[in-house]
């Protein structure tokens, strides 16, 4: 399967923002929430902190379709769980480069735990 990528203008806009608003699932009553997101080589990733039932990550595992807000646009997406250790490492580097405030550092470090590494999602256009 070949992964489509977002147009460069979309991935650049996502990368410039600190928070991405997502609505998880196509059949759920989820509302838009803000999550931390990074872009690596034009690909869009997020990592879940809590991984709780009913949260955005678990909803995407059950139903990989959803919507993200990029500027004033709603963009339909599908998600894929990332299992590549190389990609996990690249995502961690991207989080460390993007979220640099002293308040963010504990979360950036926490994203390196094995359970949170496994909670990495890639967003793809649909």
For 69-82, how does the pLDDT look when each residue is reduced to its tens digit (9 = 90+)?
999 999 999 999 99
- Closest among 52, 59, 122 to 90, alpha carbons compared: 122
Distance (Å, whole) CA 101 – CA 81: 28
- Tens of pLDDT, residue by residue over 45-64, are 999 999 999 899 999 999 99
pLDDT for residue 1: 47
User: Tens digit of pLDDT for each residue in 99-118?
Assistant: 999 999 999 999 999 999 99
Strand partners, 77: 66, 125
Residue ranges and CATH numbers for the domains of the chain are 8-125 (2.30.110.10)
pLDDT at 2: 53
Q: Could you read off the pLDDT of 10-49 as tens digits, one per residue?
A: 999 999 999 999 999 998 778 999 999 999 999 999 999 9
- Helical spans, DSSP H, in 17-113: 56-62, 85-98, 105-110
């Amino acid at each position: 399967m070949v992964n489509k990528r977002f147009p460069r203008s979309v991935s650049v806009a996502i990368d410039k923002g600190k928070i991405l608003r997502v609505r998880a699932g196509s059949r759920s009553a989820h509302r838009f929430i803000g999550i931390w997101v990074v872009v690596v080589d034009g690909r869009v990733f997020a990592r879940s902190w809590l991984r709780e039932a009913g949260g955005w990550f678990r909803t995407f595992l059950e139903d990989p379709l959803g919507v993200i807000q990029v500027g004033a646009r709603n963009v339909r997406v599908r998600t894929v769980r990332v299992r590549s250790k190389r990609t996990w490492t690249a995502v961690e580097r991207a989080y460390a480069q993007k979220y640099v405030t002293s308040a963010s550092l504990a979360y950036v470090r926490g994203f390196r735990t094995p359970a949170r590494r496994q909670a990495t999602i890639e967003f793809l256009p649909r």
